[in-house]
Amino acid sequence: MIKKIIKITLLVIFVGLVFWTFYFLYNKSQKPPEVFKTVTPFDTSIIKKTVATGSVTPRKEVNMKSQVSGIIEKLYIVAGQQVKQGDVIAKIKIIPNMLNLANAENRISAAQVNYDNAKMDYDRNKALFDQGVISKTDMQANELRINTNRVELDAAQNQLQIIKEGASKASGSSSNTYVKATITGMVLDVPVKEGGQVIESNTFNEGTTIASVANMGEMIFEGKLDESEVGKVQENMDIVLTIGAIDKESFKAKLEYIAPKGITENGAIQFLIRASISKENSSFLRAGYSANADIILSKKDKVMAIPESVLQFDKEKSFVEVETGNQIFEKRFIKTGLSDGINIEVLEGLQKTDKLKLPQLMESKED
């Protein structure tokens, strides 16, 4: 009897454990009720923009070059120095070509001989003219000859002086051996050193650059825009520049040029754009700063908006899910406006008190 009671008790306990195990596993497999977070419409400013990359450069930058070939005898400027138009920036020491020098000296010798011979004839004929032996016409011919030979001698001497010194007596104080600034501005770069050789600028050679001078008071942004975006922009659009070297400060600019022809870079068509930078900012902009230009396509201030991620679509119509009760949502079609890719303007269909269903993906990002 006792054994029978023990068996029944054990059987009951076993059955109870089996039922409890199934019950525990069933409860554990059940997911907790899904609770959606909500978000309400808010007021904000929405700016639709496109981005171009480029750099900051002076509007007017000029390379100063020498008009004669030779050796740099003296440099009077350094990078970062302010210069005015007409200031001497370098002096060139001419190293004459030996062939040209020999030809010039031979020309002087020949001109001197001709002049001396003409002078002897002139002196002799002048005495005869004073005595009335020769006519005035013959005397005028002698005067013409000596004057012509004097001019030829002076020209030969000037040529020799130009070959040696880069200037002649007739030029006075002016000399090609002095390189002068052609604009007022800041010296950006001096790529040569004293003792270095320079080549003159002529129709066949652009010449050696002595220094680069620019007006740093008028800076522009030059960048490139992809062909998919260039159709959205037009001249006089506002631009906000972000410069990597200058933290926590942006610069205003105005788009002034869009290239009519694109260039191919890495398989894509790029169009050059240029914008004038406002002088309102006090920060000094250095030439060559890399910058990103946010071109403002359209802008609306203080409009009712919602996160674009809560927006859903049904047959090209946009709708959101609005909470009507505790975790009860209904579909509501709305009319939207401007979007910046994060927030979107709501024109019709919502009020600021409405609570909108937030997608689970967005909830996890917020957490």
Q: Enumerate domains of the chain plus CATH numbers.
A: 46-57+217-366 (2.40.30.170), 61-94+177-214 (2.40.50.100), 98-171 (1.10.287)
Model pLDDT, residue 186: 94
pLDDT by residue for the chain (367 residues), tens only, comes to: 676 777 777 777 777 777 777 766 666 665 566 677 888 888 998 888 888 999 999 999 999 998 888 889 899 999 999 999 999 999 888 776 666 667 777 888 888 888 888 888 888 887 777 877 778 888 888 888 888 888 888 887 777 776 666 555 555 544 567 889 999 999 999 999 998 888 888 778 888 999 999 999 889 999 999 888 888 888 998 898 999 888 778 899 999 999 999 999 888 899 999 999 988 776 888 899 999 998 888 888 888 999 888 888 887 788 888 888 887 888 888 898 888 888 899 888 888 888 888 876 544 444 4
The helix or strand, by DSSP H or E, that contains position 28, with its residue range, turns out to be: helix 2-29
* Predicted TM-score (pTM) of this structure: 0.61
Q: Which residues contact 319 (CB under 8 A, 6 or more apart)?
A: 311, 312, 313, 331, 332, 333, 334
pLDDT digits (tens, 9 = 90+) for 212-258: 999 998 899 999 998 888 888 889 988 989 998 887 788 999 999 99
Model pLDDT, residue 173: 45
What the block records as the tokens of 74 is 């003296």
Number of H helices, E strands in the chain: 5, 22
Model pLDDT, residue 364: 46
- In angstroms, the CA 365 to CA 367 distance is 5
End-to-end Cα separation, the chain, in angstroms: 64
Model pLDDT, residue 63: 93
Model pLDDT, residue 174: 47
The helix or strand, by DSSP H or E, that contains position 93, with its residue range, turns out to be: strand 88-93
The CB density around residue 331, as the number of other CB atoms within 10 Å, is: 11
- In angstroms, the CA 28 to CA 100 distance is 105
